[in-house]
Structure 1
């Protein structure tokens, strides 16, 4: 199994990242939705939704939301939040979003907080854009919130240690073959564990070439979660806003 199929489905992944700033995330989503000017009751897919916090928040803002994630454990957890306008399904983002998952085309797809770049084969990356394009209305928006490769290279910390819920995590990072690799080791109840994360450092041009191939036009790039202007050297994020071209 690929690293993301095992690591994301463990309780340790959620323990390690439990202190993420959700207030900042919700503020970002609010700013983003206001920028996109998406009308209330529009249909939004939260692609790679994790434990659903952002899907729930989007639903509270007044949208019909479908949260999709590869992790069965996450989706099982999210089912408790479902209502008539909020649904969750297990889904691999490389696969077509079939009618039984989303019966109608959607107004926007959000892929947030570095939920892309996991695949070794670039054709898998292309499949993501293909599946999103196929499920989206003309003039709909696809937001790909990705890391800024140049900033990652400039700020890489090779080793760090952190303690969460009594577990001491050692995290080592390196850049190798255009990937940032994070090795995560720890001991719990006398047993040693080793997981890793591997994300391809896609360039702006690579991402844009995928988008254009499947009918998207990039209309904006933001550099952080406050929607400040993107700067290649100093921006921590590369938040791509794409618009689906009309077939007419």
Structure 2
């Protein structure tokens, strides 16, 4: 193969750019995860909003909203919703669905909002992305500052113990005729996922990297942030959390 024929390698794990700001802004992220169970997610939000007993037209912040699918559903439930995400491309897509009670904006979760919210949802493991652990504390403080006096916040995170016990080291997923080669491993306190694929003559390499935060880690962070952890659930049906068996770590706090 000549130099001209060799596929270009797009490597997005450079230290100058955070993995989430590059990977989430590509169309390939949404292709790979297009088959996520959104009905299950809607049932989760039904259960969650019922449990929190949110008033009609409550102001809800969907923090790290992606393309806004869940913000849209929360709005359909009757809430006044703001979806916020760092990805400009995702917000541009989400903004096509805006109405009087549904808005979207580009926002870094480490920064508090001027407006106060009755509920703040950080869903589907959208926490623990930062290189600096201090940023996780900063994010919790920003969430606290953005809550109304009687507001509640929810972080829906992976249950690290269950993830590690069931980790699939390697697999190939074919979506839209693209073969995604995926490797998973635990290293230096992070759960890594390396994603390699080729499309249109280019080779791509991306890394997902999430801090392996346990319930104890969150409790320590929340205490330091002055946050009160009210309840813990282990799945989207809001069943009791079991340290080794639960699929999720869902924390309700204020």
Could you tell me which residue of structure 2 aligns to residue 211 of structure 1?
222
Equivalent of 2:174 in 152, 163, 183: 163
Written as runs of structure 1 = structure 2, the 5 A alignment for 1:33-72 is 33-72=49-88
Task: State the TM-score, normalizing by the size of structure 2.
Answer: 0.92
- 1:214: how far off? 2.6
Q: Does 1:180 align with 2:196?
A: no
Could you tell me which residue of structure 2 aligns to residue 246 of structure 1?
none
Q: Which moved more, 1:155-164 or 1:205-214?
A: 205-214
Q: Does 1:130 align with 2:146?
A: no
- 1:105: how far off? 1.1
Equivalent of 1:225 in 220, 232, 236: 236
Could you tell me which residue of structure 2 aligns to residue 117 of structure 1?
128
- For 2:30 and 2:253, the matched residues in 1 are separated by 30
- For 2:45 and 2:71, the matched residues in 1 are separated by 10
- For 1:31 and 1:64, the matched residues in 2 are separated by 18
Could you tell me which residue of structure 1 aligns to residue 8 of structure 2?
none
Report the secondary structure of 1:210's partner residue. helix
Report the secondary structure of 1:45's partner residue. strand
Q: Does 1:108 align with 2:124?
A: no
Report the secondary structure of 2:228's partner residue. strand
Aligned residues: 238
Equivalent of 2:159 in 138, 148, 163: 148
Task: State the TM-score, normalizing by the size of structure 1.
Answer: 0.94
- For 1:13 and 1:23, the matched residues in 2 are separated by 20
User: Which structure 1 segments of 5+ residues have no match?
Assistant: 244-248
- 1:177: how far off? 1.0
Equivalent of 2:105 in 73, 89, 107: 89
- For 1:223 and 1:160, the matched residues in 2 are separated by 26
- For 2:112 and 2:242, the matched residues in 1 are separated by 34
More contact order relative to length (CA 8 Å, sep ≥ 6): 2
